[in-house]
Each structure stands twice: as C-alpha cells, then as structure tokens.
Structure 1
Amino acid sequence: MSNSPGRAGTEPEAPEQRGPIGAVSRAIRRRVMAGLLVALPVAITFFILFWLYGMLDAVVFSPMSWVIGQVLEASGVASDQLPGWWYRWVLPVINLATLPVLLYFLGLAARGRMHRAIDWMLLHVPVVTTIYKAVRGAFQAVEMQEASANTFQRVVLVEFPHPGMKAPAFVTRSMSDVRTGQTILCVYVPTTPIPSSGYLLMVPEDRVVELDWNIQETLQTVISGGLTAPETIDYFGQVGTPTVAEPTHRPPSSMGNARPAGLTESD
C-alpha cells in the first residue's frame, strides 16, 4: 500500500535528528545557556557599577571637584599650578571619601517627609510608577536579606494558601494562647519575586513543619521563583511539637466545689 500524500506531514522525525547529531546539538545548547547564566549576572553587575560611577561623576564628583578648585583658588593656589597627580589620585580619593558621608545623610532622611513625598509622587505618575515599583521592590528585597538575620527566628512550612499546599514562612514571634496555653507562632509568608510583600499568619506550633533550609536559601528561592531552590526538602517532615504552658486565665468553673463522681461524704 502506498502512503497517502496527506500523511506526509506526520512522518516521524528523521533518525539523524534524534540520534547522535541531535544529542550533540542539545548538549551545545545546554552549554551555551549555562554560559549565559554565568556571564550575564557578571556583565549586568559591572554594567550597573559603571553606570552608577558615571552618574555619580556627573552629579556628585564633578561639582565637588569644582568646589574644591574654587576653595583652593580662594586660598591663593591656582588650579593650573597643581601637579598632575593631584587630579589623578588625590581628587578622586577625596570624592570617594565624601560619598559615604553623603549616603549616610541620605540614610538619615530615608524615612523623612521628603522621601515620603518623592515616593508618593513616583507611585502616582503613569508609566513611571511601573518602573519605580520594580526597582524599589528589588532594593527592598536586598534590604530584607540584610535584616533577615535579626528579624526571623527560623524557617517553617505552613499550609498556604489552601489545605494540602505548603509555603515557606519565617517565624517572627511566639505567643501563648490564654485559654489552652498552646504556643501560637507569628509567621511571615513572603511572595515571589518580591519577598518584602507577603502575608502574616498566626499558626499553632503543632501545625507547622520545620524546614531544613536557612534564611538565605529560603529568600533566594522565593526571589528566583524556585529556580535556586536547594535540591532536597523535608516536605513531609514531622510537625512541630507544641509547647504548652500554664494558662494565664482560667474560665470560671460551673462545678464549684463539687466532688468527683463516685465519692460520698463518708469517703
């Protein structure tokens, strides 16, 4: 029987495409992608550093050099009399030394009215707000990583957002229930890719699973959407053992001084 012309397009792939040549091409693509994943973060990091230095040079360093030159001329030293090493070494060092001072005062004003006004304005300008939110979220994630060591106590798994599903969470505080004495954990569930926004849950300690990841591994997993997650996880681990303390308030008993059942006056 002859093959139907209409089935010509459904012919199986040629053996050469699925054989050694296909394996080599797939291996080459994987190696190229791996090389890009290594090179791009480095290239982007240096690009941002060069761009930041160029911006600082135009906005801070050059005006500061001009101010220093005016001060020297006012003190009787002409700028054309200064040696070349002054411009090549001394002046850049002075500029770099004043940069931390400038950043320090900016940090003091970070929570001031001016910062809040600029933040409000950028969040209400069309188009600009999209870019500003992304950039601000990225830096908030970095800030959260720096402060996580002092803020979070440990990492756990909690059922979220539905029963049967679990999400990593950070324990921020422990409380005691006034009726049962059971330990209640305040946990923070970060969201992807910006962990600075998330959900606060109050969960009994016996309903969480201790996660065998450290805080940095968990934050990196959340930011990357799971791409950098550790290879192993104790997903079905034993839930935490509840810590029961003596209740601080006891509900009034309706039994009064009633004797236990089975006891008589003669007993």
Structure 2
Amino acid sequence: MKRYFITGLLIWVPLGITLWVLNLLIGTMDQSLMVLPAEWQPEAWLGMRIPGLGVILTLLTIVLTGMFGANFFGQKIIDFWERQLTRIPVVKTIYGSVKQVSDTLLSGNGHAFRKVLLVRYPHPEAWSLAFQTNVPDEVARVLPDEHVAVFIPTTPSPVNGFYFYVKKSEVVELDVSVDRALKYIVSMGVASSEARPGIK
C-alpha cells in the first residue's frame, strides 16, 4: 500500500505543480485584458470568460513592440523615453539595473552565464556549481591576480545566490551547458544521474 501511495505521489506532484504554475502564468497574463475598454473585452461580447485570451494579447503586444523597436524610428522613440526615465532619481536606478540584466540575459550577444564552473564554496573542502559572469573594469584593475566573476545560485531556486570574484586558477571549467547546470541545481542534483559532466 505504501509503495502504491508513493508511486501515486510521484505521478501527481510534478503534474499538480506544473498545472499550478501554468495556471498562475495564464492568470497573470490574462490581467492584460484589463487595459482594454470594458466594451472591447472578450467577456462583454462573448458572455463568458475564456482563460488564455490574455496570453494571446500579451504575446501579440510583445511581438508588436519588438517589431516597432527593431526599426530606425521606433528605436529613436524608445531611446528618447529611456533618456527621460534616466532623469528620474529612483526610477533611474531601478530601470537601469533591470535593463542591464535583461539585456545581458536575453540578448543574443550577451556574455552572462556563458560558462559553468566549479568553485570552492562554502569552505575550501567543498565544491559548488557556479556561472561565470563579467568582472567590471574597476574591480579588475585593483585585483592583484586574474579573477573571474562567478554567480553561485542557491538550490532549488537559482534566481537567488551569491556573487563573488575568484582567482581564475582556482576554478574548474565544466563541459556542461548552462541549461543542464540549471537543471542540476533545480533538481538538487537528482538530474545529474542522467549524465556525468566532463571536466576540461
């Protein structure tokens, strides 16, 4: 009986969490319909609420914005509004930081998380997975030896973690993709049984 119960949990827990996350995402995106006038909202002319229509509106808005920002005139307008935002004290700090991170992570020519490393953390006898980022020029100039900037994510939530500068000679570069390393971290090492990462 206990074996059947555990087997049932192994089936339903991942499925339930997946459905919960999808429902949360769809519900959040559906809030975009609130920007439409009341008479334009699907519920007004369909007489019922259809989940997921906000997802279509959100994706359409993102694509149209991307098309607008990709041309010369659209880029000029966006640059103008960004200059205005950077003149507002608090907004400048928040917007600038978020934009820099998003540009680095989402842009095809960004340099974030290009290598997966092993670093000694939290003590000299332990190793942790880390992602190599960029060392600011101001920091590189004052460090005596060649260092690399590393982000050490926490488990099972890789969006939080620690940011360190480590001597390049003291890190081990892994022949592992960033996606697979993230899978190791989120699964708390369970997924690592699929394949052992090689070491360069």
Q: Which interval holds the TM-score relative to the shorter structure?
A: 0.5 to 0.7
Taking the TM superposition and a 5 Å limit, the aligned residue runs for 1:240-251 are: none
Q: 1:233 to 1:182 in 2, by over 3 A?
A: farther
Residue 34 of structure 1 pairs with residue 46 of structure 2: no
Q: Where do residues 175-186 of structure 1 align in structure 2 (5 Å cutoff)?
A: 183-186=146-149
Distance 1:214 1:44 in 2: 28
Q: TM-score, normalised by structure 1?
A: 0.43
Q: Which has the higher Rg, Structure 1 or Structure 2?
A: 1
Name segments (4+ residues, structure 1) moved above 6 Å: 108-111, 142-145
Kept in 2, the 8 Å contact 1:145–1:216? The answer is: no
Structure 2 residue 138 is matched with structure 1 residue 162? no
> How many aligned positions are there?
160
Of residues 200, 219, 226, the one that matches 2:188 is: 226
Q: 2:29–2:58: 8 Å Cα contact kept in structure 1?
A: no
Q: Which has the higher helix share?
A: 2
Report the TM-score, using the length of structure 2 for normalisation.
Answer: 0.54
Cα 1:36–1:110 change in 2 (3 A) is: farther
Query: 2:154 maps to which residue?
Result: 191
The 1:62–1:54 alpha-carbon spacing in structure 2 relative to 1, beyond 3 Å, is: farther
Q: Please show how residues 44-83 of structure 1 align to structure 2 within 5 Å.
A: 44-52=20-28, 54-57=30-33, 59-63=34-38, 65=40
Unaligned 5+ residue runs, structure 2?
A: 47-52, 67-77, 95-101
Cα distance, 1:214–1:102 mapped onto 2, change above 3 Å: closer
The alignment yields a C-alpha RMSD, in angstroms, of: 4.9
Percent identical: 19
Partner residue in 2 for 1:43: 19
Structure 1: give runs of 5+ residues left out of the alignment. 1-24, 67-83, 86-91, 120-141, 241-267
Task: Flag the 1:32–1:152 CA change in 2: closer, same or farther, 3 A.
Answer: same
> Once the two structures are superposed, what CA deviation does each residue of 1:218-257 show, in whole Å capped at 9, x if it has no partner?
22333x361554215459x6xx7xxxxxxxxxxxxxxxxx
